[in-house]
Amino acid sequence: MLIKKRMKVKLFILITIPFLVVLTGCGEFKDIDKMVFVSMIGIDETDDPEKPYKIILKLYVPTSSFRQNPTPEYTYLSKNGKTLAETISILESHLDKELDFGHSKLIVVGEKILQNDNYKEILDFLIRRPDIQMISYFAVGRPNAEEIIKFLPAGETALQPTIFNYFDNNGAESSYIISTFLFDFRRRLKEEGIDPILPIVEMNEPKTHFIINKSIVLADNRPPYELDTDKTLLFKTLSMNAKTIFFAVKREREYFVSRIDSIKSKYNVNVENNKASIKIEMKLAGVITESKNTLSSKELSRYSKMLDEEMKEKVSEFIHEMKREGYDPFGFGLKYYAHTLPKNRMTHEEWLEAYKNADVEVVVKSNLKSTGSIQ
């Protein structure tokens, strides 16, 4: 009898569990063709103080066969609103499918938003929403986000927005493109001692393709500071993200361009008696790729020295400029905090003051291996 009873209990459990499981009705179950995927998110600022944000979503249109339909097709949703979450929830009512941000790889904000210091609020929303990936790229759109989002460059094919290739180092490996992930942007923003840097996305004049070679540095209580193309290159070089750079040297009647493909740079921050000193060491190696004059391979060490001086001059100038304006995208402050015990540390304000007056020493050791021609 006992065995029979036990069997009954087992049977009961075996029957009820599937029922309970199945009767939940697969709440999460949603087929892929009932979702619509966001490709990029654009956020602009409007002039209307009641509805300060304009959200533009670029949505993928799925194609069954890439070969039959290779031209890119997107639909756009845009709406002005007071807060981002509300605006997006209203946008969801414009669609028959569920909005899914899981595949959005790029967030573009208009330049105006940075000027008005609204980006912190935007960032808060982007971080909180679970289906927005923290590995999305974050960029600044010029003149505004909407134009960048809606722009289809020539040669773009379906399903593969070209703009992602600029950032992900699979396509373009340019030394002028800064890629900032959403998580990195947030980290730099929250962390004291390092300032966020964002790429600026522009379009060329007849509007055929994107241009990404400038960047913008943000800092607390200061207007955003734009780095032009050369400075962006120097920043990438110093932060060791550049793979190859081309660097022109013009001195002592020589004028040549070197291709530097091995870059090592490190920096030290020392503080003594509230006086900060920053020491930057760079090791470069490469070849000469272009020259106005005939070069002799016997004089390679002289050319290297010229490259040293040129680089040193440029880098010092760049760092002095950053320091003077009070921007720190390199993370000198963070380095200082990381290397100092808490009891000896200056406060953030003290550090900013010390950084402004810091001594900068740049040491460049370059090694040009060839003049690039056979003699």
Partner 1 sequence: MSSKVNLSWIASQFEDKNDLIQKKLELDHKQITVLFIKSLIDQELYQKYIINPFFELPTQEQFNLYLFALPQFQEVPSKEKALYFVMEGNVLIEIQDNLYSLDFKLSKNSDVNSTSVETTIHGSELALSDNLMTNINVIRSSYHQPSLMIEYFEKGEVNKPKMALIYDDKKVKRKALESIREKLEKIDMQVITEAPQFNTLLNDQRYSLFPKMLLTERPDRIVYNLAGGKVILLVDGSPQSMIAPVVFFDFMTTMEDNYHTLAISYYLKLLRYIGIFVCILLPGIYIGAVSFSPEVFRTELMLTIAGSRMGVPFTSFVEVLFMLFFMELLLEASIRLPKAISATAATVGGLILGTAVTEAALASNIMVIIVSAVAISTFVIPVNEMAFAIRIVRLILIVIASIFGLAGLTLGFLCFIMYLVNLTSFGEPYLRFYNYRKGNQDSEGQA
In the complex, the residues that contact partner 1 under the rule CB under 8 A are: 21-22, 26, 28-33, 35, 37, 60, 62-66, 100, 102-103, 105, 131, 133, 159-160
Q: Which is nearer to partner 1, 108 or 200 (CB)?
A: 108
Give the 3-state DSSP-derived string for 296-339, with helices as H, strands as E and coil as C: CHHHHHHHHHHHHHHHHHHHHHHHHHHHHHCCCCCCHHHHHHHC
Shortest distance in whole angstroms from residue 31 CB to partner 1: 5
**Chain CA centroid to CA 10, Å:** 57
Shortest distance in whole angstroms from residue 27 CB to partner 1: 10
Shortest distance in whole angstroms from residue 305 CB to partner 1: 49
Q: Which is nearer to partner 1, 21 or 341 (CB)?
A: 21
Q: Which is nearer to partner 1, 98 or 220 (CB)?
A: 98
Shortest distance in whole angstroms from residue 174 CB to partner 1: 22
Cβ–Cβ under 8 Å, residues 287 and 371: yes
Q: Which is nearer to partner 1, 49 or 130 (CB)?
A: 130
Q: Which is nearer to partner 1, 157 or 357 (CB)?
A: 157
Shortest distance in whole angstroms from residue 182 CB to partner 1: 15
Residues 6+ apart with CB under 8 A from 32: none
Report the distance separating Cα 7 and Cα 134, nearest Å.
51
Shortest distance in whole angstroms from residue 212 CB to partner 1: 20
Report the distance separating Cα 330 and Cα 10, nearest Å.
65
Closest CA to 169 of 236, 231, 218, 112: 236
User: In which residue are the tokens 């009647």 written?
Assistant: 253
Q: Which is nearer to partner 1, 2 or 21 (CB)?
A: 21
Q: Could you check whether the bond before residue 143 is cis, i.e. omega within 30 degrees of 0?
A: yes
